[in-house]
Structure 1
Amino acid sequence: MTLRTEQRQHIETLIRLSEGRDAPLAGCREVIRRSWQRCVGEYRLDPGQPREVRVLTRQALQEHREPVDELLHVARAGVDQLYAQVARLGYVLLLTDHRGITVDFRGQREHDRALRKAGLYLGADWDERYAGTCAVGTCIHDTRAITCHQNEHFDATHIGLTCTAAPITDPQGEVIAVLDISALQSPRSQESQNFGLSLVNLYARMIEDAYFLHRYRDSLILRYDTAREFVHLNGRGLIAIEEDGSIIAANGNGRALIEAHLARWPAWSPQRLPTAPQLFDGDLGELLGILATGEDQIRAFRVRASGITCFVTLVEPRHRHLPATTANACAEAVPALDGLAADDPAMNRVLKLARRLRNEEVSVLVTGETGTGKEVLARALHDSGRRAGKPFVAVNCAAIPEALVESELFGYLPGAFTGGRPRGMRGLIQQADGGTLFLDEIGDMPLALQSRLLRVLAEREVMPLGADSPVKVDIRLITATHRDMTQMIAEGRFREDLYYRLNGAQLRLPALRERADRHFVIRSVYEGLLAERDEARFLRADAMSALLGHAWPGNIRQLRNALSFALATAEGDEITVHDLPEECQGATLAAPSFKAVTFDGAVADEGRALHDLLDEARWNVSLVARRLGVSRPTVYRRMRRHGLVAPNHRAGG
């Protein structure tokens, strides 16, 4: 079918539409349907009279460029980068103002005449009211990215074109420009332009954010993302704030965050916006002190409206600095507690409360999954308070045989029972006198002993077995459990009155998989193990990625065991993903690999399988390592395990 025939059929289709017959709209995309209806019903465009391309004079073009001169300056780098990517595919690039006038253009000179005729040129007018349905004009009307492909254009002279456009908005959400790529020829399928749509949308957002940063370069700007790695590079959210935390402006993602907050708390209004600390559920000092915390100057916060964790950094004003009082607005340093977390919001709330409790006598109940570091927190609470330097006695209630719990806790006098020490024994409660008693797994304490513990807490005295009179004790009690205490109380397995004695304040530790500072935790545990072993070994990036991606059902205790295993078994001066326990290697296990076949617990054919692979690869260890998805040292280690030696390395060979 010739282009002229297609144009004639297209015009006939639109004429039927203008006569009130909707049949031509069958199968038409909704966004195009609405635009066609506007063209014939609202703009009164005649499909039978295609319009000539309208190109503004130089003077008129200059009048359109002046209001967006600042944007053109900011957008230049993005425009050049995008055009460099699409030029070889036959596309030209247009940047228009909010009325659809092309104020910047990139195209190939050899196609100059054809491009000018098609309207793909500097100064061309792509307003939907004049040009009809087209990517630029319809994008401006709907304020959304769109592809207008071939015969989706209203004007018959445009049906050979494919055009993809995305809006660029100002900080108030109003369209100030449109970024468009267009081609004179393209495949018939509209889906062929999907990648171009994503690309144009991406660069439009980049230009929009660059313009925002330029406009508010003299203000404080919070930059955030849900991925820590992208915050400095391309953080999606931008919010300009005053030094008191009030919001000045925001980019698209920032406005969406504000709108989500307003939707959840309708008492607020666009005239009375929430403050930045209300959005991110933190103190103003924590937000303004970001640049003074952490190596990467990023801090994690919980978003109040959604509960998700965002990573935030602070972009300082160009010509002024934060006052010293603001930069130092962070909480008082408490080394014993501060070293337990980096910037995880849940952990920071726990540690903030722990700082307030460290010098109080109130009993503390630490809850959380097994392995989350409950004893570590209890010891840090002790070491940071006024009882530091006094005894810290830790008791695992689940590890002591039930028959010995009473004597271990309360102690006994000489001859109190058969088999006891001749001189008796001071119980653990007495040993903690003046300091802190930490009862781990308190949920496993036998019910009969719960009454005696309750008395100790009420009277601050302990009755050793065989004694006639109690002994006064001065202890601070911290308990911990991974159990559901409310359920245990309901089932009659734990005394309710004791629970409320223990739960003067509760600190809930998040699971490792929930923490935003997993990288910090992994580094801290690894460096601690290196210090214990007096070693210096590098943890390679592939190992760190696997550790970050693991679910850690056993939490920090499991992490410590995994790293200990890697340090004990790895060869060389670095730890790779293949040195980790297999359950921690994550997606790497999906790589092609042989598996040992076992009978009665003995390896049967791992060595044979490895020998066959090596033989097939002519003993090229690097090739075998790539096929198995493991490192070369791992292959060599397995070769030694099975006594496999390359033929050219055998004695006498």
Structure 2
Amino acid sequence: MMQVPFSVEARAVSLQEARSLYFGRGELPEALLDQNVLRSWERCRQAGLDPTRLAGGEPDVRGVTEARERNRTLISHAQPVLEHLFEQIRNSHSMVILADARGMVLQSYGDADFLSRAEQVALRPGTSWHEFERGTNAIGTALAERGAVNVFGSEHFFEGNAFLTCSASPIQDAQGRLMGVLDISSDYRAFQRHSLGLVKMSSRIIEKRLFESEFAHQGLLSFHARPDHVGSLCEALLAISQDGDLLGADQTALELLGLRREDLSRRHYSMLFDVPLGTLIDRARRDPSSLIAISGRNGERFYARLRGNFAPMSAPPSAIVDARGERLAARSRQEAPTAALPTDRLTLQFLSTGDERLQAAIDKGTRILGRDIPILIQGESGAGKEMFAKAFHNSGPRAQGPFVALNCAAIPETLIESELFGYSGGAFTGARKEGAVGKIQQAHGGTLFLDEIGDMPLSLQARLLRVLQERCVTPLGTNKSIPVDITLVCATHRRLKEEVARGGFREDLYYRLNGLCINLPSLRERSDIDRLIDKLLREEAGPDRQVEVSHKVMEAFLKYRWPGNIRQLNNVIKVAIALLDDDETIIETWHLPDDIFEEIGQIEPSVSHAPVGRTMADAVPQPATQAAAAAAAGMGRLEEIERDMINRTLEAENGNISSAARRLGISRNTLYRKLGRF
């Protein structure tokens, strides 16, 4: 006999009183009912529903098939969440349900004893639980209220559903449109207070997966006022284009920024935050897991992390924004620095610059060139794992074949499978009509490089192992196996042995991948930093330009710990050379990104590059000169004066960077640098 807690029993009694008042006397039992339920009862009565109507019915087999086809995207993202959620409530006389935006039950998982009872009231796939079909119920009422609801026992409009207690939460897509509902239903005597919290959390996970999937090839900014919330379900998400346009925002982001969804198309990244988007991109390349403090335009303090596929992204135009938040002008678009050396000359011999540990890795790689031995490269993020893999490929007999790379950590879990194995036309909703060739097949005759292999989902590890064993790949949506001939190189910053021990990585796949294990030293551990810098300078400046770093900069480079490793060093060199004026050949402190010497804490960038005998104040229009003179008398700091001069000059020149630079008496690069600092 099931034990019935007194609180549940008392609630059942009070609900019978509420039903008597409402259905018997026509009175509104506001003190006895949740307002969501009361509004639902009113809608059901106005729709002419009979509370004594039998709640059964046969499933619509054809209808649910069509509904599942329409909602393949929702199902693909919700399926693992449903399965996990059911594992949390198994053996509690309950079931988990996914319904679409029309209330049609698409999928369900449940305990056998409860499923048989639920089928008696048609609570199963193929039946609609819209309010106008089934009266007040958690699925239909959550859709109507667009919010999470509990419907307990006799709160259900139909008397035949009174044995149920249901908790449901709606699921929205990245545009805020209703996609469906997640529900936990059980016998009302097994009521659990945490059920509503579980479905709310689980629906949030599904929404997050939908958002990340839709904007998988854009920049995703995760942020929150609390640093520990970034990376959790509480984080806010913004999708940002390479130009800084806002493509999407989840509900948390809208609330934290005080925006409405319809405001997004009229906003730009630079109107919301004080840190330039280019700075976030650089930080993400150096250390993808690090947080950066940013401030909103209203002074709010946030912690943020930018992630996504940055290969096609360029540093965006950093807009000059006036006090009303309107853009006056934008920087000309410059390609963001990447961490790649010229690929045609990148060989293992090219990487040799004298460091003993790196040379040992190069020697090992050279000895197995042309042999069917997989390589596992381990090292910190940015230590040059992909560079080593590319050099290995270029040094061997497969150099003329393709080199295909996939970062398993940069692509949402739901997309890795299709990226890796490919798919046939129409394999899933949103797929291209002609299908797509996967990375494995693209690498046929060459090298497949899987970066951050330690982040590959367990379900895909089994499929990858089968490909390596059978040397065939089967695209999604087809049973046809395609032979492939590849050399496999993998990389990870994780300790895979430890991942195997804790169950996060398959042991059989680990031993299949670990033919030759190479550990790359971090940049701060290497003895050849000065020679590496010289090589990077020659490669970036080109054969016709001699560029070197000053003694002071080299000394700082040798002392710096380089948390972003070679990727960070290469980016710094690229930026510094780009900021050199045409007649400059020596990189000084003012040519470096400000954050480098903010972290070193000993060198400050130069304030001005105005030619001798001419100051910036001489070059600006008269109003700016007057403002500068007044400020110099005590009305502001030097940086404020400089910012005011630049903004006024840009206004006078209608945002033309070249004209403004000439009028200020400085180079365009110096002006860009100052704009970035402001």
TM-score (norm 1): 0.47
TM-score (norm 2): 0.45
